[in-house]
Amino acid sequence: MGNVTLKNIAEILGISITTVSKALKDYPDVNKETRDSVRLLAEKLDYKPNPLAINLRNKESKTLGVIIPRVDHNFYSTVVNGIITEAEDRGYLVIILFSGDSSSLEEDQVKLLLEKRVDGVLMSMATETEEIGHIKELIKKKIPLVLFDKTTEEISCSKVRIDDKKASFKAVEYLIETGCKNIVHFRGPLPPQAYTDRFLGYKEALEKHNITYDPSNVYVCDELTFNEGYEFTKKALEEHPETDAIFAMTDLVALGSLAYCQANGIRVPDQISIMGFSNWFMSQNSTPKLSTVHQPIKELGKEAISILIEEIQQRKNEFPVKHFTAQLPTEVIARGTTR
């Protein structure tokens, strides 16, 4: 029992395919009765237009490609949630592909999407990516492209990011305003840029409040693990006994800090305030609950896909496309680990 086609309906009704097509699409020049009989039969046979045929004709696939480093990570799975939901609401389907943070795999995935003729591409660049020829290729082939999260200035296209610097600035300012003066910062590795931005926000907040920035107060976590948070807290408190706050660039590390403090009788937040970043669900599960910075991750996905679809629509209508960068706002969530 293959699928019902316009032809099937036309044959049964003894009319032409053209008329069937028109009847189904509410063309004005179709007799009411013809129209009704067509619709009735179509309904009865459960006719569904074949998207493959429509897409071939319209030279579009109504499918979007998304390349992310991985999905089994809270940040990306949340983004993907936003992406798929929003795309579906707008009539697009999404193909998710992984780069595994590898430049060459990313390149392969771009090629695959190109071959599959997706209508547009959304991507968060692999951390490793330095070579951006494959991304430029997309631009050259005039495939609408939007970069999100991990982006680069070298590509001219719309971008959507969390405003990491400002988020970090607000978090540190909050610590300062609640009386902290000796704030240690645990930052992440050099690429990706986000960690540098968070570091810059930290520095800027100190400067604004006339606190001298001391590089030795900044520790670089390479693994971003709970254990690193634990160990670096130990180290930081040994090297800087005057520390009264720790700002970690991600919740898991902050949770490690909290664990160290608790294991060593350091009262949080009385003696030391701890501020995380991300508002990961586990930050609600510590005692006291972790203060952190909420990032609108799902909204990031939605916004990115919206911009992409807008752009696709504009190009189709031959409107001029203007690129821009959206910075999504964040929020400090003060819970139990800050004063």
User: Contact at 8 Å (CB) between 209 and 176?
Assistant: yes
How many residues sit in the footprint of a second copy (CB under 8 A)? 50
Distance, in Å, from the CA atom of 72 to the CA atom of 276, rounded to the nearest integer, reads 21
Q: Shortest gap between Cβ of 285 and a second copy (angstroms)? A: 4
Q: Given candidates 33, 72, 130, 242, which one binds a second copy under the rule CB under 8 A?
A: 72
φ, ψ of residue 155 in degrees (nearest 5): -110, 130
Nearer to a second copy, 133 or 215 (CB): 133
Site for DNA in 31-50 (CB under 7 A): 31-35, 47-50
Using CB under 7 A as the binding rule, whether residue 140 contacts DNA is answered as no
Ordered DSSP codes for 103-131: HHHHHHHHHHHHHTT-SEEEE---TT---
- Give the pairing type, strands 120-123 and 145-148: parallel
Which residue type sits at 141? K
Q: Shortest gap between Cβ of 15 and DNA (angstroms)? A: 4
Q: Residue 300's closest CA among 194, 190, 174, 183?
A: 194
Among a second copy, DNA, none, what binds residue 37 when CB lies within 5 to 8 Å by partner kind?
none
How many residues sit in the footprint of DNA (CB under 7 A)? 34
Across-strand partners of 162?
328
DSSP state of 290: P
Q: Given candidates 97, 123, 236, 334, which one binds a second copy under the rule CB under 8 A?
A: 97
- Convert residues 208-247 into a mask of x (bound to a second copy by CB under 8 A) and - (unbound): -----------------xxx--------------------
Using CB under 8 A as the binding rule, whether residue 94 contacts a second copy is answered as yes
What count of other Cβ atoms lies within 10 Å of the Cβ of residue 154?
8
Using CB under 7 A as the binding rule, whether residue 141 contacts DNA is answered as no
Using CB under 8 A as the binding rule, whether residue 8 contacts a second copy is answered as no
Nearer to DNA, 3 or 77 (CB): 3
User: Contact at 8 Å (CB) between 301 and 307?
Assistant: no
Using CB under 8 A as the binding rule, whether residue 53 contacts a second copy is answered as yes
Nearer to a second copy, 28 or 133 (CB): 133
Using CB under 8 A as the binding rule, whether residue 102 contacts a second copy is answered as no
Across-strand partners of 278?
294
Distance, in Å, from the CA atom of 14 to the CA atom of 21, rounded to the nearest integer, reads 14
Using CB under 8 A as the binding rule, whether residue 285 contacts a second copy is answered as yes
Site for a second copy in 122-181 (CB under 8 A): 141-142
CA atoms in the 13 A half-sphere facing the CB of 72: 1
Q: Which residues bind DNA (CB under 7 A)?
A: 2-3, 5-7, 14-19, 21-22, 24-25, 27-35, 47-50, 52-54, 56-57, 59
